[in-house]
Amino acid sequence: MASKPSWAKSFSFTLDFERGMPGRILATWEDSLRFLDNILRERKVQLYHVFVHWHPDPDLTHYCGVTYIDERRMAFCSGNDKSTMLHELAHLEFGLHEHDAKWAGKLIDLHQKYLTGKELEKADADLVKDYKAAAKVMKRRKARTETSTPKRHRQHHRRGSKSRV
């Protein structure tokens, strides 16, 4: 069973984890939890508590993450990645319980700010695949971007007779 490592004591939230969780498993969460903590501090979002749930059987998982907005706490199971941290942050920061268009828009904004490259592409693709509201928001944004981007102006040349001197 893991005791609380020193890195877990520096967060702006308290961290607890499943009894019996091996230290090597807990250590895999350090980067994701630091990522979350840095964003919480930057955005001045108050989160009181994070709980990391674990199953000895790796095939047994359920939720990736869950946020208790009113209690300002989160719990994670298999969601040891940046996109899950941002997903839960969108619920917490904006007080949005549902996976509706408003939530999806906030999450897409978080993706754009904190993810890059393939990580951003995968997070957006997964979001669109898993949530219809997110797919609609993405589609609207893409259409808006396409219509607001100026089209290249073609140069038109008049054809006519050249005056000869």
Given a cut of 50, is residue 165 above it in pLDDT? no
CB 33 within 8 A of CB 11: yes
User: Which pTM does this prediction carry?
Assistant: 0.83
Q: 48 or 1: whose pLDDT is higher?
A: 48
Q: What's the pLDDT at 54?
A: 85
Number of domains in the chain: 2
Contacts 24+ apart (CB under 8 A), 54-63: 54/17, 54/18, 54/20, 54/21, 54/25, 56/20
For residues 143-152, average pLDDT: 72
Cβ proximity of 32 and 78 under 8 Å: no
Q: Are residues 49 and 108 in the same domain?
A: no
Q: Give 65-89 pLDDT, tens digit per residue.
A: 999 999 999 999 877 899 999 999 9
Statement to judge: residues 116 and 44 lie in one domain? no
Q: Do both 63 and 139 map to the same domain?
A: no
pLDDT at 2 > cutoff 80 = no
